[in-house]
């Protein structure tokens, strides 16, 4: 044991002994008047109280001290001749010997109880950590989730800053930023090297920075590099302390790897990796297929419109109708492909909104405009006050979300029914609602409507669709810091989709708006 630790322990022991003495003093002070008044002679049993307290709270040494002090105080204060350590009656001597035996046995028992209590408390904490850890592992979807779980688990049990690198690539590419904290380049280099070819897989290597901070870099498991490389910040410590911490890290990691292996983490990691590769492949496939499909669509659609307007077909109603069919179906296909492309964009690159000040009226009008032909046999009721606040959003994304909502409203309502669009400013937000008189939403469908590729079984037979529309709308609105919700009074009662966007007042200096050139 290093000296520093011993010194600390002695100091706290001394503090406990002092507290014990204090307790004995308090008991004595309380006993003296009681004995004086009542004339009782055997007060020594009361000294079991400080013995018990000291044993339970501070352990064996203070409790023995309490027992001895209790004997001395009894002899001095209560047994005749009083105020002297001499004891005249041999019975009293026997009493005191019995007292000391009882006190020591009790303090032994109490100390053991205390130790077991602490042990079981620690075990409970460990179990809780482990349980939380295994639960996180169970819901971890990809490798990075698993690594984050390992990282947090190790940080909890070691009480130090812990950074886990999934591999050499992550270590060299993270650019010194990892989960929001900065990591010195020397540590990154060491981690990258260790991930590729550990010099000392079991012990790892320490990196001492110019500032005096010491980091330990080592594989989580010397046997399984799949589990990653860990870097622990020891801070500024003496060499002896570092050695001690390293031993602790070894112990904790040996424990943790055993757990990780038992939980099948390595297997989970490789499985998650495979899953993400499959996802990537699917996205890439959808992306390239959609792109390839669009090129011929441009020719098909263009040619169909030329044909439909050709003078040769001017009097050929049926042929003209055929050309229009080709055009309409090409448009429909184009919309479906557009949805697939949007979906790929959302899940692969994420959406990067081009934020600007926009007039909500413009956004709604242009969305209605884009759907004009799909909305021809619906009654559109627009309610757009002239004094709506400007919003800072990507107007095109919001418009596309609205188009999806209109599309949906048309799909699930009958010709001639009304679609009402209104916009309001409310508590610093812009609220746009789209209400239809269509099929509505059942309680079962409600949690499903925002999910990808989800379509209600009520409608699969009667309407076509990919189940992407509302999912895309949701993603586009969320990318603008907004929120989208749906409500319905029930099946056949129509539904209302509400978009909320943050609206802050645009600052326009009055001078700028009305001054002349």
Partner 1 sequence: MTEASPIVLIVDDETQIRRFLRTGFELNGFVVHEASTGAEAIRTATLRPLDLVIVDLGLPDMDGIEVVERIRSWSSVPIIVLSVRSSEAEKVRLLEAGADDYVVKPFGMAELLARVRVALRRQMRAVSGEPTVKAGPLTIDLSARAVLLNGTRLALTPKEYRLLQVLAQHAGNVVTHQHLLKEVWGTTHLHDTHYLRIFVRKLRQKIEPHPDSPRILVTELGVGYRLAQPEADNGAFAVIQSAPLQAPAKP
The footprint of partner 1 (CB under 8 A) covers 294-303, 305-306, 309-311, 320-321, 324, 327-328, 330-331, 334-335, 338, 341, 354, 356-359, 361-363, 365-366, 369-370, 372-373, 376, 382, 384, 386, 390, 394-396, 399, 506-508, 512-517
The nearer residue to partner 1, 127 or 508, going by C-beta atoms, is 508
Q: Which residues pair with 218 in a beta bridge?
A: 230
Question: What are the structure tokens assigned to 119, written together?
Answer: 């042990």
CB of 503 to partner 1, least distance (A): 12
Pairing of strands 379-383, 418-426: parallel
Cis? peptide before 81, omega within 30° of 0: yes
The nearer residue to partner 1, 95 or 480, going by C-beta atoms, is 480
CB of 486 to partner 1, least distance (A): 24
CB of 368 to partner 1, least distance (A): 8
CB of 421 to partner 1, least distance (A): 12
The answer to whether residues 407 and 374 touch, using CB atoms and an 8 Å cutoff, is yes
CB of 314 to partner 1, least distance (A): 11
The nearer residue to partner 1, 36 or 514, going by C-beta atoms, is 514
CB of 455 to partner 1, least distance (A): 24
List, as one string, the DSSP characters of 251-314: HHHHHHHHHHHHTTHHHHHHHHHHHHHHHHHHHHHHHHHHHHHHHHHHHHHHHHHHHHH-GGGT
The nearer residue to partner 1, 185 or 385, going by C-beta atoms, is 385
Q: What is the DSSP letter of 346?
A: I
CB of 491 to partner 1, least distance (A): 30
The nearer residue to partner 1, 434 or 439, going by C-beta atoms, is 434
The nearer residue to partner 1, 46 or 479, going by C-beta atoms, is 479
CA–CA separation, 138 and 368 (whole Å): 46
Question: What are the structure tokens assigned to 280, written together?
Answer: 């990537």
CB of 424 to partner 1, least distance (A): 14
Question: What are the structure tokens assigned to 184, written together?
Answer: 């010195």
Cβ neighbors of 481 (< 8 A, separation 6 or more) are 393, 501, 502
The nearer residue to partner 1, 376 or 426, going by C-beta atoms, is 376
The answer to whether residues 154 and 165 touch, using CB atoms and an 8 Å cutoff, is no
Nearest to 236 by CA among 277, 264, 198, 206: 206
3-state SS, residue 478: helix
Handedness of CA 415, 422, 335, 490 (dihedral sign): negative
The nearer residue to partner 1, 301 or 419, going by C-beta atoms, is 301
Q: Which residues pair with 283 in a beta bridge?
A: none
Q: Which residues pair with 230 in a beta bridge?
A: 164, 218
The nearer residue to partner 1, 243 or 292, going by C-beta atoms, is 292
Angstrom distances, CA of residue 160 to CA of 47, 149, 214: 44, 15, 12
CB of 198 to partner 1, least distance (A): 46
């Amino acid at each position: 044991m290093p000296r520093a630790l011993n010194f600390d322990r002695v100091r706290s022991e001394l503090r406990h002994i002092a507290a014990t003495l204090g307790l004995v003093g308090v008991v004595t002070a309380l006993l003296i008047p009681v004995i004086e008044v009542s004339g009782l002679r055997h007060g020594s049993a009361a000294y079991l109280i400080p013995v018990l307290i000291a044993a339970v709270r501070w352990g064996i040494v203070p409790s023995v001290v309490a027992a001895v002090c209790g004997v001395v105080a009894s002899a001095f204060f209560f047994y005749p001749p009083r105020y002297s350590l001499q004891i005249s009656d041999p019975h009293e001597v026997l009493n005191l010997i019995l007292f000391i035996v009882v006190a020591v046995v009790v303090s032994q028992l109490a100390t053991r109880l205390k130790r077991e209590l602490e042990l079981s408390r620690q075990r409970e904490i460990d179990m809780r950590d482990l349980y939380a850890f295994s639960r996180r592992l169970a819901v971890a979807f990809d490798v990075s989730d698993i690594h984050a779980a390992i990282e947090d688990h190790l940080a909890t049990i070691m009480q130090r800053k812990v950074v886990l690198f999934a591999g050499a690539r992550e270590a060299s590419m993270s650019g010194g930023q990892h989960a929001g904290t900065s990591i010195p380049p020397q540590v990154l280099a060491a981690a990258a090297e260790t991930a590729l070819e550990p010099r000392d897989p079991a012990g790892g290597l320490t990196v001492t920075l110019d500032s005096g901070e010491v980091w330990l870099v080592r594989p989580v498991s010397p046997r399984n590099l799949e589990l990653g490389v860990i870097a622990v910040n020891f801070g500024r410590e003496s060499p002896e302390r570092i050695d001690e911490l390293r031993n602790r890290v070894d112990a904790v990691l040996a424990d943790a790897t055993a757990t990780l292996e038992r939980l099948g983490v390595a297997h989970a990691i490789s499985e998650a990796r495979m899953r993400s590769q499959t996802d990537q492949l699917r996205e890439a496939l959808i992306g390239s297929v959609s792109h390839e499909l669009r090129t011929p669509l441009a020719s098909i659609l263009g040619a169909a419109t030329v044909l439909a307007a050709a003078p040769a077909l001017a009097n050929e109603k049926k042929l003209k109708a055929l050309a229009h069919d080709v055009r309409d179906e090409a448009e429909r296909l184009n919309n479906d492909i557009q949805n697939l492309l949007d979906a790929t964009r959302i899940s692969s690159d994420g959406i990067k909104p081009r934020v600007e000040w926009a007039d909500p009226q413009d956004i709604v009008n242009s969305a209605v405009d884009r759907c004009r032909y799909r909305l021809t046999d619906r009654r559109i009721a627009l309610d757009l006050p002239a004094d709506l606040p400007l919003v800072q959003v990507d107007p095109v994304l919001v418009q596309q979300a609205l188009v999806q909502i209109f599309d949906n409203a048309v799909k699930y309502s009958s010709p001639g029914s009304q679609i009402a669009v209104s916009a309001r400013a409310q508590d610093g937000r812009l609220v746009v609602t789209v209400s239809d008189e269509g099929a509505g939403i059942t309680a079962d469908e409600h949690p499903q409507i925002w999910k990808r590729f989800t379509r209600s079984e009520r409608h699969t037979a009667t309407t076509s669709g990919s189940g992407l529309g509302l999912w895309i709308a949701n993603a586009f609105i969320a990318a603008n810091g907004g929120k989208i919700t749906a409500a319905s009074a029930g099946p056949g009662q129509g539904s209302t989709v509400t978009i909320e966007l943050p609206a802050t007042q645009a600052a326009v200096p009055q001078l700028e708006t009305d001054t002349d050139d």
